[in-house]
Structure 1
Amino acid sequence: MQTKLKDLKTHFKTIVVSDIHLGTKGSKAKEIARFLKQYSCENLILNGDIIDGWQLKKSGSWKRKHTRFFNRMLKMIDQDNTKVFYLRGNHDDFLDQILPLQIGNLSIQADMIYESEGKKYFITHGDIFDSITTNLRWIAYLGDIGYTFLLWLNRQVNYHRRKRGLPYFSLSQYVKGKVKSAVSYIDQYEEELAKMALAKGCDGIICGHIHKAENRDIDGIHYMNSGDWVETMSALAEDHEGNWQLIYYSEIDFQKSADIVELPKTIEPEMKIVAFTKLDQNPGLSDFL
């Protein structure tokens, strides 16, 4: 075993990311690729809305930086022997055509049960909740304003904030926090998914979808949400003792080095490129949810 002298990373047992929305202007593809260079893991769980098929069908575009994310993922499989689980989200529902699919260390599936340190977690993107609740007034409200417009406006606001030396400000998160129906929806969302975990005999649930990072207890159920890589830029990470934490990109010290153990390399079969053509869903008002 060797310790690298440069490009050192912190090694976790499992890392969960979601809602990258590759193919859209709002996607922080460069940041997520840099994040995954900083950290290594045994299991990488991509919990839905990684590729935004809806936006690609409408007005999105695929950039080189979006491809680099998958290059980084494949290097993790090759160099660190990382197992990658890509779970379906509502924006990458084109995966319905091929799942379940396994190619070497890459598994594509709808959801999963994750067991670690004597505990079971149900992992799902979380869009299933939209079919459970009828209280979606806040989505209509945000849709009327236009979530895409909010993101554009947010970029303009933060451009001027940076010039003044001020920290990043999330306009859409601010709106979600102020609109009563938005707060109500998020509370319902978290409570319903906690109930779902209980019904499945699990100790906790890990989800995404609403772009709100969280790690807390709800009536004895460990509820976790990995956030997103459009604004929050956050991920969930589990250490080898079964402890979970939220990591925010804005708080990472990329200059700080940490020793890691270099894992043996394995060569995986060539990944099959799967084209998606069935993108018949209209995202309507909730473009990024």
Structure 2
Amino acid sequence: MKTIYYPSIWISDLHLGYKDCKADYLLDFLNRTNCDVLYLVGDIVDLWSMKRQFYWEPSHYKVLECIQAKAESGTRVIYIPGNHDETFRHYVGRSLFNVEVHRTFIHTTSAGKRFLLLHGDDFDSATRYNKLISIAGDAGYDFLLFLNRWTNRIRRIYGGHYWSLASWIKNRVHKAKEAIAAFEAAAIHEAKKQGVDGIICGHIHQPALKVSDGIVYCNDGDWIENCTALVENKDGRIELLHWSDIQHVLHTVELARPPENKASQAA
């Protein structure tokens, strides 16, 4: 199997242990990519869901096994626990099975741009619609995922590819759009406050890659609805990838390299 190399990859909101986790697509992504650094930006295992009802498919174990194999074979794996796996925040500053656990992290791209990494539940209090931001486990969201599940079963029967009905509906609900905008504004404000060039987060299951008010806002999405990941290319570009039946680039941001100084140019 031919693999694609990226210096850095970001994934979050896998929600292993939840019935709507798209573990098969995720496994395909992990097996067909390799990187120097793999960032796990929270909600990797859905402890909230497993407390309500235990659910664990063999494919979910294979995802963890694949991540562990990468960590043991030289990939630096950095884990930033989210709200659904917040138990692991007790291990911040330590290493678990060759996986580093951090509360937040600063990533510097090959273009010299600094990005703040965090899960994103820090911004719940900054949004006016807290329940919409804490969507996983919410009854309304569960119903959207139920519709999503059956819509895609019918689409497969007729030869259609995976498509997120849940995301389509959410993007057309006015209050949900307001909550997403408030979350993004809070994230951008935090990036400016910390003096970084951009921010990378997850949490709201809303993949995005854009420049706003001079800050590069990146949300790597999820593996419940959208099946998305962020990657950094060798030339410094950051891309948002969709990975299900058909893989394609959703968005790209070019990050200009800093100019060389006169001494290096003379050399």
Instruction: Name the TM-score class by shorter chain.
Output: 0.7 to 0.9
Verify the 8 A CA contact 2:128 2:179 in the aligned structure 1.
no
Aligned residue pair count: 246
Distance 1:18 1:142 in 2: 13
- Give 1:73's match in structure 2, choosing from 53, 67, 71: 67
Distance 2:130 2:178 in 1: 9
Structure 1 residues 163 and 63 mapped into 2: Cα distance closer, same or farther (>3 Å)?
A: closer
- Give 2:239's match in structure 1, choosing from 245, 254, 261: 245
Verify the 8 A CA contact 1:88 1:111 in the aligned structure 2.
no
SS state at 1:36 partner? helix
Query: 1:224 aligned to 2:223?
Result: no
SS state at 2:223 partner? coil
**TM-score, normalisation: structure 2:** 0.86
- Give 1:16's match in structure 2, choosing from 10, 17, 28: 10
Shift of 1:96: 2.4
Distance 2:67 2:191 in 1: 28
Verify the 8 A CA contact 2:133 2:180 in the aligned structure 1.
no
Query: 1:114 aligned to 2:107?
Result: yes
Amino acid at match of 2:80: L
Shift of 1:60: 3.2
Distance 1:228 1:76 in 2: 20
Instruction: Give 1:48-63 correspondences, 5 Å limit.
Output: 48-63=42-57
Structure 1 residues 118 and 139 mapped into 2: Cα distance closer, same or farther (>3 Å)?
A: closer
Distance 1:55 1:209 in 2: 15
Pick 1 or 2: higher relative contact order, CA cutoff 8 A, min separation 6. 1
Q: Which residue of 1 aligns with 2:76?
A: 83
Q: Cα deviation per residue 1:23-70 (whole Å; 9 max; x = unaligned)?
A: 010111222122111000000000000000101111132232111111
Distance 1:143 1:33 in 2: 24
Shift of 1:103: 4.8
Amino acid at match of 1:252: Q
Amino acid at match of 1:106: V
Q: Which residue of 2 aligns with 1:269?
A: none
Distance 1:62 1:143 in 2: 16
Q: Cα deviation per residue 1:162-204 (whole Å; 9 max; x = unaligned)?
A: 2223333322212211211111111111111011111001000
Distance 1:13 1:138 in 2: 34
SS state at 1:227 partner? coil
Q: Which residue of 2 aligns with 1:261?
A: none
Distance 1:175 1:142 in 2: 16
Structure 1 residues 51 and 143 mapped into 2: Cα distance closer, same or farther (>3 Å)?
A: closer
Structure 1 residues 83 and 184 mapped into 2: Cα distance closer, same or farther (>3 Å)?
A: same
Instruction: Give 1:68-217 correspondences, 5 Å limit.
Output: 68-79=62-73, 81-103=74-96, 105-116=98-109, 117-136=111-130, 138=132, 146-217=140-211
Distance 1:177 1:165 in 2: 25
- Give 1:37's match in structure 2, choosing from 31, 39, 44: 31
Distance 2:102 2:137 in 1: 29
- Cα RMSD between the aligned structures? 2.1
Which ranges in structure 2 are unaligned for 5 or more consecutive residues? 249-267
Shift of 1:154: 1.6
Amino acid at match of 1:91: H
Distance 1:23 1:141 in 2: 16
Percent of pairs with identical residues: 36
Q: Cα deviation per residue 1:114-162 (whole Å; 9 max; x = unaligned)?
A: 1122111000111111122233364699987521222122211221122
Amino acid at match of 2:189: K
Which ranges in structure 1 are unaligned for 5 or more consecutive residues? 1-6, 254-289
Q: Which residue of 2 aligns with 1:46?
A: 40
Verify the 8 A CA contact 2:147 2:166 in the aligned structure 1.
no
SS state at 1:149 partner? helix
